[in-house]
């Protein structure tokens, strides 16, 4: 009797172990497939632009593209790339001389029309009606909300130089300008049944960034505004996308030399445009996609800790540099006296 019972239990456990082994293998396979799929999508997303077909459709949606912050870096690269597709360009920036120079360069190189609007998006008395009156009769295919600012250097919130003005500038330039420009251009896009809105965010808006807290919060707004807008209006033919670069070699990043991980503006923009229609938010460049994918697989607390330490290091080096300059100036003054 005891032997029969023992045999029955062993048989049951053997079958149970087989079931659990099979179930475990299935779970493991599903997890591996999901990880590999997300990895491949992240890295290869910019390579599939032609599949979405949006680049080929831009000209059919209108004759004009509007680009804010268009005289340097990523904004200028978007203006040039869209002009190379045959779109006329409205350039919006705050420096008339730079606007005139970029407009002339684009007209000469790409044989398209340009219009310029001088606008300081940090101006608290800014009248968006002026922009609206210039754009009202244009058939706008694409809006690129690129204008933006960051901190002068990583800093604790309460230690930001001229804190209240700096925080208001961050909000006015990064958030209000994008929201209002979209409000101006979107009705025409919906009416004619098509258009593209590209909002330039930042990878810092996709994670916690101590010592760039207000900036990353502004860029988080850009991301979620873009995703929500895309959900609201994509079925009406208007695609909205937020591009979230890590470092690009621009004046804003203070990185002069480009590399595999830090592309130049033209390289980044070409890649980002290739992901148009594939996702409502993207890092826009294969190396950035890979890096972003890796960060998302790590514990968020670890990423936050690493980002904070990196920013503290940048801050410490800047403080040391300022202290050194102050010491040199003091010695020079004493020597003169």
Cβ neighbour number for residue 96 with a 10 Å cutoff? 10
Strand ordering across the sheet containing 88-93? 114-118, 88-93, 64-68, 140-145, 195-200, 238-243, 281-282
Catalytic residue among 110, 215, 221, 268: 215
Would you call 215 a catalytic residue per the annotation? yes
- 75 close to 144: Cβ distance less than 8 angstroms: yes
The secondary structure of 212-261 as a DSSP string is SHHHHHHHHHHHHHHHHHHHHHGGGTEEEEEE--S--SSTTTT--S--SS
- Structure tokens of 243? 């591009």
Q: How far apart are CA 122 and CA 135, in angstroms?
A: 20
DSSP strands (E only) in 273-333: 281-282
Catalytic residue ranges: 215
């Amino acid at each position: 009797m005891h032997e029969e019972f023992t045999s029955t239990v062993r048989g049951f456990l053997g079958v149970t172990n087989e079931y659990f082994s099979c179930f475990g293998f299935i779970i493991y396979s599903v997890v591996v497939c999901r990880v590999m799929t997300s990895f491949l999508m992240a890295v290869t997303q910019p390579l599939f632009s032609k599949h979405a077909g949006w680049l080929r459709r831009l000209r059919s949606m209108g004759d004009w593209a509007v680009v804010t912050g268009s005289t340097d870096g990523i904004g200028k690269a978007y203006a040039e790339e869209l002009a190379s597709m045959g779109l006329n360009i409205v350039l919006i920036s705050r420096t008339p001389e730079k606007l005139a120079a970029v407009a002339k360069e684009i007209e000469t190189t790409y044989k398209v029309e340009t219009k310029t609007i001088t606008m300081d998006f940090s101006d608290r008395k800014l009248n968006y009606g002026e922009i609206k009156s210039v754009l009202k009769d244009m058939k706008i295919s694409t809006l690129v909300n690129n204008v933006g600012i960051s901190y002068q250097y990583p800093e604790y919130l309460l230690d930001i130089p001229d804190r209240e003005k700096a925080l208001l500038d961050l909000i006015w330039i990064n958030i209000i300008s994008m929201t209002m420009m979209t409000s101006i251009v979107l009705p025409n896009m919906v009416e004619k049944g098509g258009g593209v809105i590209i909002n330039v965010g930042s990878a810092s808006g996709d994670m916690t960034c101590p010592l760039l807290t207000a900036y990353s919060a502004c860029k988080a707004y850009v991301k979620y505004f873009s995703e929500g807008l895309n959900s609201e209006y994509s079925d009406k033919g208007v695609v909205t996308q937020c591009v979230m670069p890590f470092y690009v070699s621009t004046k804003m990043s203070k990185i002069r030399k480009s590399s595999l991980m830090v592309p130049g503006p033209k390289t980044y923009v070409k890649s980002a445009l290739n992901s148009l229609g594939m996702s409502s938010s993207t890092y826009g460049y294969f190396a950035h996609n890979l890096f972003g994918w890796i960060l998302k697989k790590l514990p968020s607390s670890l990423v936050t800790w690493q980002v904070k330490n990196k920013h503290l290091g940048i801050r410490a080096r800047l403080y040391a540099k300022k202290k050194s300059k102050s010491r040199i100036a003091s010695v020079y003054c004493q020597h003169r006296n």
